Structure 1
């Protein structure tokens, strides 16, 4: 028969009829209670006794404590209130099924008796403490008074009525002294209340300590030094600005275990400190696969939103903010300072890829990037990655950098940067003796690009280590490698900070 049916003897309650249609008769079905063993000894003992009590009430030989099918249900007709009570209310009439059980071995519980018991406990807790009884002081001792003789004691005549002291009537509202059972119950309540208060205080303290180590919104807590160490950004306000910019585009539905704050923080910590996936998994208390997916998706969002920060400036903007050192040496025609920097990578298994990425100069496998900065020290262009064996001239010609120059622009470069024929402007391939003074000025100003490269590499440790091979694979549907996105994001974050010039 489809649906649920009651397992109590002689009870024909079912949730569906023979045609499989649901019955709207208001009857509910409840599972047999489980034995909870991981919430303390008291809960374990209570739930064990309740399961035994339910099985004893049902009294079916095919049901045992350890062998009870998951499909077994008890309907609401066997409870006074139509459903089982809370498992901690052991004295409640519905702690076990007690109605219409098909046998007389279990005595039907009395709900009125339970209500009277609850009322007595409530009145006892609300009863004010009894007032202190006034005791009359004993009469002053008479030192010279002779004790009456036995004869006088029996033959003493009674006093007249007007002289007899009226004894006070018995107090009707005098509080009765509490019984020993009530004293025991009151003391037990006080002891339990103290235990509960101690547990609540311990719980609050543990939550406070846990928040200090949890990577949540309170982790940075507005501390600029902490923000600078973990993210590379200058202050907490800058981090909040970045977070507000990225939050609408983050994959929140796919990363339910990580908040937008944690997604951005995780990605920045991976790039800034070069932390392994395993370590980040431990810090954020999620699986390694979740960390890897979070880094991949968040990096794509950061690249899309921060890429415009690496922007080629307009001619008016470049001339307006030209530093005076460049104006004194070259006028206002310096448009860019160029150089290449390399990122170490792991040795690939492909022979052709190894040949393209191996460089004799560093005697290692690298990826090479062309970086262009403005005289103001702002990164204005960043090429995609090329194998370390590729020449600087080839990267300059193929990266699209030359298309951004205008006639008359001056480009400062290292003398080993053989792009004079390509640029057709002031780029010295080899120095003559008469060019010494001019060369000194070029070298003094060209050094700014090396300072910017040093800032990018030192601020983001991932560019210092050997990048894994999987970061050199093209992203799905894009002509970019994850390493290209990482380098561009690092440059954009550098532009958000104070210039080194």
Structure 2
């Protein structure tokens, strides 16, 4: 059955190739009445064969959602040009009448006193019709030329605007790339790498990334890439930024920052620290021994000292217990530095009052000594007996060889050199990774793993020393 649209004046019919849709009137009485009112045919009611074509809907089809504008047909415009009947051709008599009227108008203008040449609006005969162009026709022609010229100019202007927008978009992308904390942002900027990570250049950072990357697959569906996880952790150590600050910078939640830092620190502690913080062989030590120790201490294996990091937490103000409470708010570490200026040993931290002897015995420091090794220090650390039990010797720089604790008068300046050597290395690590200056957050002081007996901050100290060893800024004893 061939359906025809029921709208007055609409001649659309269901024929192959038209692409139109035809809809029957809805069954819902209220909606059906609204459709009848929209068709606006007085005294007319639809039957089962009545259809409405899709051209009377805004989107080209009916929609059954009452909130949609196409729930009821609303497009009832005049018929399109291709559907209108063509205008009947002008009768030849009318064409002749127009010619006579134009000539009469020309004659009247010439009689008004203006010269024929100036007053004559005639520019050309209309080809094949004999009609003359009047001023209005000429102005219309010029207007068409102007419109064409304006259209061409507009196209050229839009092309220029498009090019300008592309240049602006490219500049904005480059600006955002420079401001973002991404791999491409740091690749060619050594100063930015040094500022955010403490490492000397991107090559060292990339080497650390290659070492850690195979072990960073534990966090699935992570919002941060592996590089961003490493960068966030290094920024935490380097700049001691708060978790909320890092969450804003990387567009994640605070919990994500905490989990990322703990996860990457654990990986670096188990992977990077054994690679970068190690006890060198005796042959390697003697081969690279600084000239300052060649004559005075050729068997020097390590220079030891202790350093402390304050912790967060309230300190009791009581006069009698104030000093003891302050001492309990400090983490103490035993550090071993090779004469070449690299850290070769870091103990776990001990909170509060401690004994260097117990710390050396409990941290595994004594197990690394060989018979004949010399352990050098700038002050008495009460570990000489424990060192001697391993067949090694503990010396205080500048003190007599009889073992007395008093330094000899006129002793060589290596005492100050040794003390400055250790202090320089510790200070270098702290300046490079300001998180080690404290105060340490309480969350980092709890033991993270029972197997290693190390707290998260113990791992952070070891990781900072390992990263410092990777830098081309060791402080050899001179």
Interval containing the TM-score (normalised by the shorter chain)? 0.5 to 0.7
Q: Hey, what's the Cα distance between the residues in 2 that align with 1:297 and 1:221?
A: 24
Q: Cα offset for 1:213?
A: 1.8
Q: Secondary structure at the match of 1:220?
A: helix
Q: Hey, what's the Cα distance between the residues in 1 that align with 2:53 and 2:436?
A: 69
Assess if the C-alpha contact under 8 Å between 1:98 and 1:107 holds in 2.
no
2:181 is matched with which residue: 209, 215, 224?
215
1:484 matches 2:451: no
2:379 is matched with which residue: 392, 415, 423?
415
Q: Cα offset for 1:108?
A: 11
2:260 is matched with which residue: 258, 276, 294?
294
Q: How does 1:272-287 map to 2 (within 5 A)?
A: 272-287=238-253
1:247 is matched with which residue: 193, 198, 213?
213
Residues 58/290 of structure 1: CA separation in 2 closer, same or farther (3 Å cut): farther
State the TM-score, normalizing by the size of structure 1: 0.60
Q: Hey, what's the Cα distance between the residues in 2 that align with 1:393 and 1:216?
A: 46
Specify the alignment match of 2:281 in structure 1: 314
Specify the alignment match of 2:433 in structure 1: 460
Specify the alignment match of 1:67 in structure 2: none
Assess if the C-alpha contact under 8 Å between 1:311 and 1:380 holds in 2.
yes
Assess if the C-alpha contact under 8 Å between 1:345 and 1:365 holds in 2.
yes
Q: Hey, what's the Cα distance between the residues in 2 that align with 1:104 and 1:368?
A: 77
Specify the alignment match of 1:10 in structure 2: none
Q: Hey, what's the Cα distance between the residues in 2 that align with 1:245 and 1:92?
A: 67
Superimposed CA distance per residue, residues 105-139 of structure 1 (whole angstroms, 9 cap, x where no aligned partner): 74999xxx99x9xxxxxxxxxxxxxxxxxxxxxxx
- Unpaired runs of at least 5, structure 1: 1-55, 63-77, 81-90, 117-166, 171-176
Q: Cα offset for 1:413?
A: 1.5
Q: Secondary structure at the match of 1:316?
A: helix
Q: Hey, what's the Cα distance between the residues in 2 that align with 1:317 and 1:230?
A: 33
Q: Hey, what's the Cα distance between the residues in 1 that align with 2:286 and 2:53?
A: 87
Specify the alignment match of 1:426 in structure 2: 394
* Count of residue pairs the alignment pairs up: 355
Specify the alignment match of 1:499 in structure 2: 474
1:471 matches 2:437: no
Q: Hey, what's the Cα distance between the residues in 2 that align with 1:405 and 1:443?
A: 24
Assess if the C-alpha contact under 8 Å between 1:472 and 1:483 holds in 2.
yes
Specify the alignment match of 1:441 in structure 2: 414
Specify the alignment match of 1:43 in structure 2: none
Q: Hey, what's the Cα distance between the residues in 1 that align with 2:380 and 2:230?
A: 39
Specify the alignment match of 2:294 in structure 1: 327
Q: Hey, what's the Cα distance between the residues in 1 that align with 2:354 and 2:28?
A: 84
Q: Hey, what's the Cα distance between the residues in 1 that align with 2:330 and 2:435?
A: 14
Q: Hey, what's the Cα distance between the residues in 1 that align with 2:29 and 2:308?
A: 78
Q: Secondary structure at the match of 1:426?
A: strand
- Unpaired runs of at least 5, structure 2: 1-24, 32-51, 83-124, 129-140, 397-402
Q: Secondary structure at the match of 2:395?
A: coil
Residues 322/99 of structure 1: CA separation in 2 closer, same or farther (3 Å cut): closer
Specify the alignment match of 1:206 in structure 2: 172
Assess if the C-alpha contact under 8 Å between 1:57 and 1:98 holds in 2.
no
Q: Cα offset for 1:189?
A: 7.8
Specify the alignment match of 1:405 in structure 2: 369
Superimposed CA distance per residue, residues 356-404 of structure 1 (whole angstroms, 9 cap, x where no aligned partner): xx97697561111110111111111111111131121211121111111
1:371 is matched with which residue: 324, 335, 340?
335
Q: Hey, what's the Cα distance between the residues in 2 that align with 1:394 and 1:477?
A: 20
Q: Hey, what's the Cα distance between the residues in 2 that align with 1:394 and 1:467?
A: 23
Q: Cα offset for 1:252?
A: 7.2
Q: CA RMSD in A?
A: 4.5
Q: How does 1:81-96 map to 2 (within 5 A)?
A: 95-96=59-60
Q: Cα offset for 1:179?
A: 7.0
1:341 matches 2:307: yes
Moved more, 249-258 or 380-389: 249-258
Assess if the C-alpha contact under 8 Å between 1:299 and 1:486 holds in 2.
yes
Q: Cα offset for 1:246?
A: 1.9
Superimposed CA distance per residue, residues 304-353 of structure 1 (whole angstroms, 9 cap, x where no aligned partner): 2211111011122122212222111122x111111111111112799xxx
